[in-house]
Chains A and B, each alone.
Chain A
Amino acid sequence: MAVYADPSVIECPSVGSTIVVALYDHAARKGGLAHFLLPTAREGLSSDRQATFVDTGFPALLQLMVQHGCLTENLVALYAGGAQFRKALADDALDIGVRNIRAVEQALAKAQIQVHGSHQGGAAGRSLFFDVSDGTLTVQTLSGAKILDFPPLGVAA
């Protein structure tokens, strides 16, 4: 998890059922990126580990962005990931992808952050590229079959 101000492209090369959330403040031209592994942290984890769970990591990302001078009301979000296995699982507890998507949607709604777009589910792995200069998020499936470009987050949806 980090907040970036320099114009650079941040890569998340291998996203499975995990989920990447990009937040962008178009006024401050700063972007925050977090890669969550699971929806819920378990007790007794170190603080750096807590950044990898949606329930503890998402509020920490928001706090970090505010510390870097961003305003919560300026933030817009993109997220991608949450891949699932071929056969739908009867037991949600085993479907990390479905639970990660749900947890991120709930966290964004609770924080009242506008969602600019998402690329979620399916069975393909993804690589993500976040351009801090304008908030563009490029999603490429690992099979190379599709490439999606979300429009810059600096432009209102």
Chain B
Amino acid sequence: MPAALLTIQELVERTSDLPTIPAAAIKVIRESESSTSSASSLAATLAADQSLSARVLRLSNSAYYGLSRQVSDLPEAVVVLGMRCIRNLTLVAATFPWMSRTMKGYELGPKAMWSHALAVAVGAQEVAKRANLRCLDAAFTAGLLHDIGKVALSVWLENKVCAVVSLAERESISFDEAERQVLGFDHAEVGYMLAGNWNLPVPLAEAVRFHHRPNETEPSSDLADCVHLADALAMALGLGIGADGLMYHFYPESLARLGLASQDWDVLAGDLMVSYEKYETMFGELLFA
């Protein structure tokens, strides 16, 4: 490794405009996961965030749900959409301001990062479903946030991305390995630090950290495996890929650990695409309007 430029800690401390999640959104997510929550209690929490409330009402009245009547109050909207949909919408809306930025460091256009994050979120949920896991919501969250390290690292990589890509191509190594050689750390490690700063649950932070190296978790992590597989599928399908393309290692062991076989691969690819298009239409209309 060349002379160390910055430690991860220094990088995080010196990066202005780091990604954050609004406190109101965190309350909605916690309420939607609470065993005592109800449509009225979630609606009351939602009401504290006017922008989110408006989006929930607009979504429940959208053509997608095809209701013949107008939904005009939040408790009814909660019933129409369901807790899971509101939780996912809250997360996607809360992360949208920084997910939708152009990230020159990774050659990602304004919508590319958001598309990729959404694809991996719905993909991780599809993988979890197919593997009969119960962690569907955690899989969505881990998938959505898996590349948050790129958001922080992008500005530092702007003048170095060509060197990282050249090194990865010349040495036939993965992009994350090239990041480690050039910067001293990779975007997954930066993401892990941010996840720690946000007090995200440990399994979720570990999934962010090991999404390119799922074989290195000890013990194995279902969430890391779900995100690794969904990330591979999203890259293969070309959903929000940048300068790093498919320059990563793919570990089929993740499939085996989840009890899945190679025959499941194309089925998962199809399911991811269908699910992505559904969410992209539903949420994209609300957020990009």
Contact = CB atoms under 8 A, between A and B. Distances in A.
Contacts of A83: 236, 245-246
B218 interface: no
Given A37-B269, A91-B252, A85 B240 contact: no
A86 interface: yes
Interface residues on A, range: 20 to 34
A42 interface: yes
B172 to A, nearest CB: 7
Contact of B267 (A14, A42, A89, A144): A42
A120 interface: no
Interface of B: 107, 109, 112, 161-162, 165-166, 168-169, 172-174, 232, 235-250, 252, 255, 262-263, 265-267, 269-270, 273-274
B236 A97 contact: yes
Classify the secondary structure of B's interface with A. loop
B245 A125 contact: yes
A40 B266 CA distance: 9
Given A85-B232, A94-B262, A14 B238 contact: yes
Nearest to B270: A42
A139 interface: no
A22 interface: no
Contacts of A86: 172-174, 246-250
The 4 closest A-B pairs by CB, nearest first: A16-B238, A17-B236, A93-B262, A125-B245
Nearest to A84: B246
